[in-house]
Amino acid sequence: MTLPVLVRLFAAAALLLAAAACSMHIETPPIEPMNPEPELSETRKARLAAIDLGDKAPPMPAIEELRIPPIDPDVRLPRAGEKTAFGLTVTPELEQLWRAALDKDWQYWEARLQEAEASLPDTPEAKFFLQSLRIQTLIHAGRTDDVFIALETFRDMEYALFGDNAETLSQYGQVHFWLGEPDKAIGYYTQLLADAGDWWIPDFFYGIPDNTGTVTRIAKAMARAYIGMAGAYLMKHDYAKAVHWGQRGLERQQQVIRLTQHPVFGLVVKADAHLYEGEAWLLTFLGSARIGLTGDVEGNRPILEKAEAYFEQAQYRWSDLVVKSISDYALYDIGLKPQATDLIGVLPAPAPATAERLSRAVRFRPDDLTAREDMTLPVPARHTIALPGEGEVNSYDFVVTPALARVNDAFLAGEYETALDHLDDAAIEADGPLQRWHASFSRARTLIAAGRAADAEAELARTEALEIAYFGTNLGSRALRGEVRFWLGDYEAAIRDELSVVEALGDFRAPTLFVFPPQIPQLALMNRAQFRAYLVIANALMFQSDYAAALPWAEAAEQLFEESHYAWQHQLYSAYLKLDADMFYGRGVNLAVIAAARMQDGGDTQRADRTFASARAYLQAMGYDAGVSIVEAVRARALLDAGEPAKAETVAAAAAEQAARRGLAGMLWQLQALRGEALLALGRPAEAESAYRAAQLGIEGVTGALSTDSAKRRFGVGKDEVTRVLADLALARGDLDAAFADLERGRARAFVDMLGRRSVAEGRQAELVERIRGVSDAIRRQRIVNAAPGAGTAEGVTRVAGLMDDRAALVTELRRRDPEMADVLNVSSRPLAEIRGRLAPQDRLLYALPAADGGEPIRFLDIRRGGVALGTTAMTGDELERALTPFASDEPLRHAPAQTAAARTITEGLGLDGGADSGVLYVVPSGPLYFVPWGALAIERPVVVLPTGGWLARGAEGRSRVRRAAIVGDPHLGTSWVSLPGARTEAEDIGRLYRAETLLGGQATETALRAAVGDGVGVLHLATHGLFDARDPLASAILLSDGTGQAPLTAARLFEQPLAADLVVLSACETGLGAATAGDDFLGLARSFYLGGARAVVNSLWPVHDRPTRIFMTEFHRLARGGDYGGAWLAARDRLRAEGFPPSVYGAFVLGGAASG
C-alpha cells in the first residue's frame, strides 16, 4: 500500500473521530411568510433581481464544464432500518410506501398509507414528513383537488414547526407546473428563491449538523424550485431563462451529489433515488432548453443521455418518455422536428375497402399501454359535457372568442341554424390559420347536426384546404367527410374515407400519460379523426348487417374512448386532451353497436342486453332522448337479424311510442318501419301494413325543407323500402289503385327531398312560398331542438304540431293557386282513375315496380284506358343490366352485332315485341330501366319516358304560346374542352329551320341565353357539352361560355331560375344521364327543365358522334314543329336506323314528358 493512500486513510479516520465527537449548526436563510397568491412583493422582487438572468444571455459552458458527476450504482430508495433526514427510522411499512410511489402505483400507495402512518412515531415531525410525501404522491397521481386541500393544512403545519413555508411554496409551484400553468408555478417558486438568494448547503462538514431536518427541507424545496423554474420557462419557450435556472439548479444539485460521493462527507449527506431523479429532471430541462436556444441537437445530446442514465439509476418508471417528450417539445417549437400531422401528409384519394384491409387496419389497446392508474369510465354528469365558453381554452389550445362562445352555446342547445349564423362572426374574429380552419370545420360539423350533410360536404372542400395549410394533412376533414357520407347513407364511401384515415394513423393512440405539454392542436386533430373513423366504420358495417366485421371496430372504438376519457378526467391532463360533446354521444351509440354485434350468431344475449342497458343509461344521463331512440332502433334491428321478430316488434313499438311523445319525427318512421318488418316476419300483414303506413306518413312529415336527416336508409330500412313494401302489400290483396298511389307518393317524396331547402322557380307565388318556407324552417329547427341532448320539452312537441297545421293550410292555398309549385314543397299524387282517363284508347303506360334486389323479375303496372293489370316479365334487373353492357361503347360500329342481339333480348325479356301496336307507349322507369335505349328496341310506336305517372295529368299552365326558338351551339369553353364544329353546324341548321338567331362560341353565355328565352319560347335547343354528377345530380350541368372559358349552367340553378320552353332538346354528351334515388325519381337535367314549363325534353343517354346527331336533330325538329313530338322522335329514329347506324346510335335519344305539344 502506498504512502499517499495510507495518509488519506489516516486523515479520513481522524475526520470520522472528530465528526463523532462534535456537531455543527448550518445557518439557513430567513423565508418570509408565504403569499397565498403567486405574486412577489417589492422586497422579493429586489432580491430576485440579484440572482435572476434579467436581459443577459445565459452562460453556455461546454458539456465537460458542467462537471456532471459519475453515477453511483448503489443509489436506491431508503430501506427499513435506515434514517431519514428528519431522524426518522424507515419502517418496513414506510419502505413499501416509498416503493409504491416509485412504481407510480397510486391505489396501492393509498391502501398502505395508514399502515405506514401507524408505524411511525406520533410526533409533529413524523406527521409533517408523511404529509409531505402524501402531497408529492397526490400531485403525480393527478389528484390536484386533494392536493390543494392538503396544502392548506400543510402550510400551517410547516409554519408551526419551522417558522416558514419553504416546502409549501415549492409544492404549490409543483402542482401548478404539472397543471400546465407555468406563470403561477414561477410565482410560487420565486417567492422561495428570492428569499433564499445564494444560500446553499455547505461543501464541508466538521460534524453532524444539529439542524439536518431544516437544512434538508429547505434544500429540497429549493431544488424542487430550480427544477420547476427550468421546466416552467421551457414550457413558456423562454429558453434563455430555462437555461439560467437549469444551470443554477444543476450546480447546487451536483454539489450535493459530490458530497454524497465523498468518503467522509458521504456519511453526513446521503444519496437516494429522489436526489438522482432531481438531477435527471434538471439535466432533461437544461439539455432541452439549450437545444431550443441554440438548435444544436447533437452537441447537447450527451446531457440528455446523462439524464436518461440518472433516471434509470433512480428507477424512474418512465425515463425514456420524459426525456423524449421534453426534448421533442423544444424541437417542435424551433422547427427541427416535423409535426406528426406533417409526417402523415395529405391523404390520397381513398381506395376501395376490402375485408382484408379492414381486418389488418383495426388496432386494439397494446398490452404495454402506460397509464398512471386503472382506467374507469363513469357515466358523466350532464353539466360536465360542455363546450368551452368565452375566454376559455378549447380543444385546439386557443382562446374562445365571444362569437365562438355563442356558437358553442347554440350548438349544445340544438339551435344549429343559430350556431351557423354565429359562425359567420366567428370566422371574422378568427385571427390565425388554426382559428380559420376551426371555424370552417365547426361549420361542417354543425351542418351535419342540422341535417344538412350535403351542405357539409360542400363546406369540407374549404375545410380541407385550410387544414392542409396549417396541419400539413387533411386527416380531420377526411374523417368528417366520411361521417358526412355515412349520414347521406353512402356507407361504402364512408368506410373508404375512414379506412384511409385509420391506415394513415397506423399505431397512433392518444397518450394516457403526459409528462410535458404535447402539441395540442395536432393531438386533438389526430385523436378526434381516429375516434370518428372507428365509430363510422363500426356503424357503417353494422348498418350493412355485417356484424362480425363491425364488432372489432366498435370494441376498438370503445378502448379509444376509454383512453381519451381517462386523460380528459385526469386533473393533470385535462388541459392537454379534451373531449367534446359529440364524442360522448358517439360513445353511447357505439355501445349499442357492440351489443348488437354480440347478439348475432347465438351470441351472449344477456351480455348484449346489459350493454344495451348501459348505452341507454349513458345517453339518458346526458338527456339525449334521440340517442336513446337510436339505441332502441339498433336493438330492434339486431333482434330481427338474430331471428327474434317478436322481441323486435315489442322493442320497436315501445320506442316508436316514446319517439312520438318526444317529437322525434326523424326516428319515428324508422322505428315504425322496423316494427312493420317484424310484423311481416310474424305473419301479421294487416298490422304490418298499418306500421308501414305510419312510417310513410312519418317520412312525408320529414321530407324536403322539413328534413333533419339526409340519409335515406338506416337500421336496415329505407324510405324506398317503405314504399316498395306498401305497394307489395297492396298488390298481394289485389288493390292496384292503392299500389299505384303508394308508388306515386314515393316518387313525389323523392322529388321534394331532392330539392330540399333550395329556392325553386324564384318569383312564382313568391310571398306564399316564402311563408311556407318560413314555417318549414321553424318546424325543422324545433324538431332539431327536440332531438338535441337535454333540449327537448313537451312544449317543443306541441309547438311542432301547431306549426304543421299552419303549414298544411298554406300548402292547400298554394295548390289551389299553382299546383306545380305545391308539388315542389309537399308530397301529393293523382288517383289512378284520373291517369287512365288521360290515356288515348291505344296508349299504354308501363309503370315499373321497384324491386327488392336485382335478382327479382321486372314487374309493371300495365295501365290502359280500359283497365290495369299486373305484369311480370321474363327478365330480372340484373339480366337487364348485363344486356345493356354492349351499348356502353366508344366504338359503336364494332359492337353493332352485340347491340342488335342485346336489343332483341331486352325487347323479348320485357315483353315489348308487339310491333303492330299503335298509340303512345309511356314508361315510368325504375332502376336499370332508366338506361334502356327505347329507340333501339323493336318498338314501332313513340316511347315517352315520364318521371311519374301523374305527369300525364299535367295541365298546360305556364306554357309558352310563342313559337320562336332559342338555340345554342358550340360555346367557347376554353382550352380544357375541344370545340364542337358538328354542334355548331347543327345549331346553324336548326336556326335556319326556325328562322332564329343562334348563340355560338363566346356569345353563348347564360346571360345571352336568358335574354333569348325571355318569358318563354316554343323550342330551346342546346348543342353543347354536358356533364353528369352521379353523386350530386343537381350539380349536373350543360356547359355555356363566359366569353373566355366554360360556365356551367347546373340543374340546381335551373331549378332556381328555370328557362321556360315548351320543347327542350339537349343535344350534348351525357345530358340524359341521371340517378335513380329512393322513391325512383330520376334526377338529372331534364327534371329541372320540366319545372320551367317544358312539355317535353329530348336528350341522349350517352355521347353520339356529330353526323348521326345532326341527322336525328334535323329530322326531329322538321317534324316536331307541328307539335307531334312522339311522331317526330319515331321518324328520326327510323331515319338513323335506315341509314345503317348501330342500335347504340339510333337508340341513344330519349323523349321525355309528353308525346305532343
3-state secondary structure 1110-1142: HHHHHHHHHHHCCCCHHHHHHHHHHHHHHCCCC
- The set of cell numbers assigned to 263 is 468518503
Residues 427, 546, single domain; the answer is yes
d(CA 1094, CA 1080): 21
Residues 393, 530, single domain; the answer is yes
Output the pLDDT for position 1030. Answer: 63
Output the pLDDT for position 760. Answer: 58
Contact 706, 776 (CB under 8 A): yes
d(CA 159, CA 354): 69
Instruction: Decide if pLDDT at 8 tops 70.
Output: no
Residue 753 is assigned to a structural domain of this protein: no
Average pLDDT rounded to a whole number, residues 590-605: 89
The one-character DSSP state at 959 is: -
Ordered alpha helix ranges (H), 663-765: 665-681, 685-701, 719-732, 736-755
pLDDT digits (tens, 9 = 90+) for 768-795: 877 877 877 777 667 666 655 555 677 8
Residues 616, 506, single domain; the answer is yes
Residues 270, 212, single domain; the answer is yes
| Residue 1125: band (very low, low, confident or very high) from pLDDT cuts 50, 70, 90 | very high
- Strand 1061-1066 and strand 1046-1050: the pairing is unpaired
> Mean pLDDT of all residues in the chain?
86
Instruction: Decide if pLDDT at 808 tops 50.
Output: yes
Higher pLDDT, 103 or 151: 151
Instruction: Decide if pLDDT at 224 tops 60.
Output: yes
| Total H helices, total E strands in the chain | 44, 20
Contact 58, 240 (CB under 8 A): yes
Instruction: Decide if pLDDT at 241 tops 90.
Output: yes
Instruction: Decide if pLDDT at 14 tops 50.
Output: no
What single letter denotes the amino acid at residue 488?
L
Contact 858, 873 (CB under 8 A): yes
Residues 214, 296, single domain; the answer is yes
Instruction: Decide if pLDDT at 376 tops 70.
Output: no
pLDDT digits (tens, 9 = 90+) for 98-137: 888 777 777 788 888 899 899 999 999 889 989 998 998 8
| Residue 1080: band (very low, low, confident or very high) from pLDDT cuts 50, 70, 90 | very low
Average pLDDT rounded to a whole number, residues 66-74: 92
Residue 754 is assigned to a structural domain of this protein: no
Q: By C-alpha distance, which of 567, 578, 487, 571 is closest to 528? A: 578
Contact 522, 341 (CB under 8 A): yes
Q: By C-alpha distance, which of 555, 554, 557 is closest to 541? A: 554
Contact 173, 181 (CB under 8 A): no
Helix, strand, coil shares of the chain, percent, nearest 5, are 60, 10, 35
Instruction: Decide if pLDDT at 169 tops 60.
Output: yes
pTM: 0.80
d(CA 408, CA 423): 10
pLDDT digits (tens, 9 = 90+) for 717-732: 778 889 999 999 999 9
What single letter denotes the amino acid at residue 932?
V
Output the pLDDT for position 305. Answer: 97
Question: DSSP E strands: which ranges in 20-82?
Answer: 23-24
Q: By C-alpha distance, which of 412, 791, 421, 423 is closest to 783? A: 791
Q: Which residues contact 1148 (CB under 8 A, 6 or more apart)?
A: 933, 935, 1100, 1101, 1102, 1104
Q: By C-alpha distance, which of 127, 148, 163 is closest to 34? A: 163
Q: By C-alpha distance, which of 1038, 1127, 1037, 1054 is closest to 1093? A: 1054
| Structural domain count, the chain | 4
Output the pLDDT for position 219. Answer: 93
Q: Choose one of 679, 710, 744: the last residue of a domain.
A: 744
Q: By C-alpha distance, which of 636, 684, 638, 685 is closest to 657? A: 636
Higher pLDDT, 995 or 383: 995
Higher pLDDT, 108 or 984: 984
pLDDT digits (tens, 9 = 90+) for 618-641: 888 877 788 888 899 999 999 999
Residue 766 is assigned to a structural domain of this protein: no
Output the pLDDT for position 467. Answer: 97
Average pLDDT rounded to a whole number, residues 55-75: 90
- The set of cell numbers assigned to 788 is 338535441
Higher pLDDT, 766 or 403: 403
| Residue 711: band (very low, low, confident or very high) from pLDDT cuts 50, 70, 90 | low
pLDDT digits (tens, 9 = 90+) for 189-211: 999 999 999 999 988 877 778 88
Residues 987, 930, single domain; the answer is no
Q: By C-alpha distance, which of 873, 856, 1051, 843 is closest to 949? A: 843
Average pLDDT rounded to a whole number, residues 698-707: 64
Q: Quick one: which H or E segment has residue 313?
A: helix 297-313
The radius of gyration computed from the CA coordinates of the chain, to the nearest angstrom, equals 39
Residue 283 is assigned to a structural domain of this protein: yes
**Least confident piece of the model among 148-152, 708-712, 818-822:** 708-712
What single letter denotes the amino acid at residue 150?
A
| Residue 9: band (very low, low, confident or very high) from pLDDT cuts 50, 70, 90 | very low
Output the pLDDT for position 789. Answer: 53
Residues 976, 1031, single domain; the answer is yes
Q: Choose one of 315, 334, 353: the last residue of a domain.
A: 334
What length is written for the chain?
1157
Ordered alpha helix ranges (H), 103-238: 106-119, 124-141, 144-162, 166-178, 182-196, 212-235
Output the pLDDT for position 958. Answer: 45
d(CA 430, CA 411): 18
Q: Quick one: which H or E segment has residue 594?
A: helix 581-599
Residue 32 is assigned to a structural domain of this protein: no
CATH of the domain at 1146: 3.40.50.1460
Output the pLDDT for position 683. Answer: 96
Q: Choose one of 334, 369, 398: the last residue of a domain.
A: 334
Residues 938, 1033, single domain; the answer is no
Instruction: Decide if pLDDT at 1094 tops 90.
Output: no
Compute how many other C-beta atoms are within 10 angstroms of the C-beta atom of residue 261.
16
pLDDT digits (tens, 9 = 90+) for 910-925: 998 665 578 999 999 9
Q: Which residues contact 256 (CB under 8 A, 6 or more apart)?
A: 201, 219, 223, 269, 275
Contact 1145, 1105 (CB under 8 A): yes
Identify the bridge partners of residue 1038 per DSSP, sorted by sequence position: 1026, 1049
How crowded is the C-beta side of 351, counted as CA atoms within 13 Å? 8
Compute how many other C-beta atoms are within 10 angstroms of the C-beta atom of residue 633.
25
d(CA 981, CA 141): 78
Residues 988, 942, single domain; the answer is no
Output the pLDDT for position 253. Answer: 93
Average pLDDT rounded to a whole number, residues 696-707: 67
Contact 1017, 962 (CB under 8 A): yes
Domain residue limits at 864: 832-951
d(CA 207, CA 443): 72
Residue 145 is assigned to a structural domain of this protein: yes
Residues 486, 559, single domain; the answer is yes
The owner of cell 431523479 is: 277
Residue 938 is assigned to a structural domain of this protein: yes
Residues 969, 999, single domain; the answer is yes
pLDDT digits (tens, 9 = 90+) for 304-362: 999 999 999 998 888 888 999 999 999 999 999 999 999 999 999 999 999 999 999 99
Residues 643, 702, single domain; the answer is yes
CATH of the domain at 137: 1.25.40
Question: DSSP E strands: which ranges in 587-647?
Answer: none
CATH of the domain at 542: 1.25.40.10
d(CA 659, CA 653): 10
Q: How far is CA 203 from CA 25, 265, 974, in A?
A: 14, 9, 85
Residue 5 is assigned to a structural domain of this protein: no
d(CA 307, CA 288): 11
Q: Which residues of 330-354 are buried (b: 16+ CB within 10 A; e: fewer)?
A: bbbbeeebebbbeebeebeebeebe
| 878: region left, alpha or beta (phi > 0 left; psi from -120 to 50 alpha) | alpha
| Residue 565: band (very low, low, confident or very high) from pLDDT cuts 50, 70, 90 | confident
How crowded is the C-beta side of 43, counted as CA atoms within 13 Å? 7
Q: By C-alpha distance, which of 712, 377, 379, 789 is closest to 567? A: 377
Q: Which residues contact 735 (CB under 8 A, 6 or more apart)?
A: none
